[in-house]
Amino acid sequence: MSTSSTRTRLTWIACVLPLAGISSSDGRLFKEVEQIYSDVHKLQKLLHDKLSGLSTPEAVYSVFYSTMRMKKRYGGVTHMYQLEEDMVNIANDLYLDLCSNKKSIKSLYIIAGESGAYLVLRLLKFMNDHGVDLKNGMPDTFPRLWYNSIYGRDEPTSSQSEGDIHIRYVILIRPSLPLPQGFAHAFWRIIQPAFYQYKDSNIEDLPCRFLWWTACETDSTSNVVIDMTLKGASCRATKMSDARAVGEKLEQALNIPPQGDRRREFVYSIMANLAKALDYSSNDALRKIEEWYKGDHDDLANYNDLVDLHLEAQELLGSNVSTDTTRDAFRKHLKSIADNLGMPAKAKWSGHQEKSQIRDRVT
């Protein structure tokens, strides 16, 4: 379409593969790392197929952020130097894409693996502190703000609420950084990228509706990657055993029954869980939500908020995150949803789509 006013708003799936991609000099790569690549691609396909196959299908646009995979030693000196460069360049690319396309993005999903997942966690915090503002993405500004954000020396330039940026789901496959190997290990104190000192991340108050992450359950002493530590209690984030388990959750979240008795049963079941998460206490927001969902809605996007509240309720009811803080956060989110029922998400994103020299896009 020729004008921005008539351009179709898209659902974006942004995939960030392991940075400084390595294919290894002998054509083989550690099984753990190859599995991360495979998991990101499988979840992207599942999500793309589910969203574009809805009874009211969404226009879906998938994009992979990556560099050409080098035939070098994984964890070697070249890998580390390229990793340090990509940590800035790819973060800048993704951020600029969001700034340039704010009004044309209906909803954003992010899938990332290994060091790409590390980058995404840092970028979510960056967006909390600086918003999605083109001036902060400029080449003479972004690197300084970016590293200050990673190192905890940040001075936020703007406040960013969830309603201002519609990131629905974030999926992190094995958030980690490559373990130095060979000469990189021997001279680690000299060549270590500074961000390796910041391997912890807080999952509270991230600007997304829900976050899943996977970690290695069977081998906590990997000789391939250094796993990140995700801290904090949140009813909008949960650790999963593997990508298959995440895929099952996605299937459930995106499987809205057809209109009629099955739809009503679906809504009733969710409302019962929401009430249980509130300890069956009286709640005006819950009553307002229940009243609004009594009728069928043709646009399945109307059920996204209800499904995402259900994910939060399941976390509160089935895990160790239930605290006064998380329950208060759940009540505030419930009220926010109730106050905006039937209204479009704030700050729908628009702009143009430009190719970058270091990105590989898939539609």
Structure tokens at 53: 């196959």
Identity of the amino acid at 159: S
Q: Where are the alpha helices (DSSP H) in 101-186?
A: 115-130, 142-150, 183-186
> Which residues have CB under 8 Å from 70's CB, separation 6+?
20, 21, 22, 23, 78, 79, 82
Q: Tens digits of per-residue pLDDT, 143-152?
A: 999 999 998 8
Tell if the pTM clears 0.95, that is, is over it.
no
Place of tokens 């990793």: 83
Q: Tens digits of per-residue pLDDT, 23-70?
A: 765 556 788 888 999 999 999 999 999 998 775 667 899 999 988 888
Pick the more confident residue, 204 or 176. Answer: 176
Identity of the amino acid at 322: S
Identity of the amino acid at 180: P
Identity of the amino acid at 74: Y
User: CB of 257 within 8 A of CB of 231?
Assistant: no
User: CB of 170 within 8 A of CB of 142?
Assistant: no
Q: What percent of the chain has pLDDT over 70?
A: 84
pLDDT(220) > 60: no
pLDDT(1) > 70: no
pLDDT band of residue 194 (cuts 50, 70, 90) is very high
Identity of the amino acid at 267: V
Distance separating alpha carbons of residues 154 and 152, to the nearest angstrom:
6
pLDDT(139) > 70: yes
User: CB of 173 within 8 A of CB of 36?
Assistant: yes
Q: For position 298, what pLDDT does the model report?
A: 80
Range from 6-10, 130-134, 182-186 carrying the lowest mean pLDDT:
6-10
Q: For position 208, what pLDDT does the model report?
A: 92
Place of tokens 């509240």: 309
Mean pLDDT, range 263-275, rounded to an integer: 93
Mean pLDDT, range 206-220, rounded to an integer: 80
Distance separating alpha carbons of residues 217 and 213, to the nearest angstrom:
12
Distance separating alpha carbons of residues 46 and 125, to the nearest angstrom:
27
Structure tokens at 325: 């803080």
- Angular region, 224: left φ>0, alpha ψ -120 to 50, beta rest: alpha
CA dist 243 → 46, 60, 122, 328 (Å): 11, 21, 21, 30
pLDDT band of residue 351 (cuts 50, 70, 90) is very low
Mean pLDDT of the chain: 84
Structure tokens at 75: 């964890």
Going by their DSSP bridges, the two strands 60-65 and 10-16 should be labelled as: parallel
pLDDT(155) > 80: no
Q: For position 61, what pLDDT does the model report?
A: 92
